[in-house]
Amino acid sequence: MKLARPNVFHPRILLVSGRQLGDGGDSGLVEALRRRGLSARWMPWDDPQTENADLVILAAVSDPADRRKDFLSWTTRVRNLLNPPAVLAWNSDKHYLVDLADAGIPVTTRGATGHRTVLIFLGGQQSHAFRRTTAGRLIPAEPDFELWDLGRSALDAACAKAGMSTSELLYARVDLTGSAEGPSVRQLDLIEPDLGWQYLDSETRALQQRRFALGVESACERLGLGPLSHRGP
């Protein structure tokens, strides 16, 4: 275990949730962050104390659509938020699919007509994926590269619309569906995605949660929250 050093700045990091704290298959993230020397704890997203944190990570929000106005107002008051407020506002409006279509991304608003694939990206890079069974269960999968390319194109279009770099996304989930016409984007979730930790074997889960923690560490450096930017002479 890394011990806190008095001459190094340690950012106050919160994982925020709208569900029972730590619920939603996200258990293990606090430990993964701790292994990188980052201390974090869970808190409800609408707790006023979140506005005092150095960094807030949306990890398990419970359907902000019910309180969209309050939620979007809150995102602008938090000091540093992952994912960033601009892309959250864009993604919270269901018209985002129209924007993706305008950018040349094949999308569908109909029900699934073929295979359904879930792609998870961490730090803008492909991480892990699942196939959804007819019973609705998620099973780990290894999609073809063209499906990952479609997912990346959707992220690029989203970030271009929000005026940010894809690397600034801590996480993203892209749900694809296939048909005779080819694969298309059914949903892009940048706000509260289920990243499917609970469906991974223990070794893969530990590896990908480490990548999640590295993404947080990178964001801290980018946002001026890293130890070098606060270390005394």
Residue 195 domain flag: no
Supply the CATH number for residue 133's domain: 3.30.470.20
Do 61 and 103 sit in the same domain of this protein? no
Higher pLDDT, 67 or 129: 129
For the ranges 12-21, 23-32, 154-163, 223-232, the lowest mean pLDDT is seen at 223-232
Q: Mean of the pLDDT values across residues 133-151?
A: 92
> What is residue 31's predicted lDDT score, i.e. its pLDDT?
93
Supply the CATH number for residue 59's domain: 3.40.50
Domain that holds residue 208: 1-83+200-233
Do 92 and 74 sit in the same domain of this protein? no
Question: At residue 4, does pLDDT exceed 70?
Answer: no
Do 23 and 75 sit in the same domain of this protein? yes
Radius of gyration of the chain (CA): 18
Q: How many domains does the chain have?
A: 2
pLDDT digits (tens, 9 = 90+) for 15-69: 998 655 444 445 689 999 999 999 999 998 889 999 999 999 998 766 556 678 8
Question: At residue 10, does pLDDT exceed 90?
Answer: no
Do 115 and 163 sit in the same domain of this protein? yes
Do 100 and 178 sit in the same domain of this protein? yes
Do 50 and 132 sit in the same domain of this protein? no
Q: Mean of the pLDDT values across residues 223-233?
A: 61
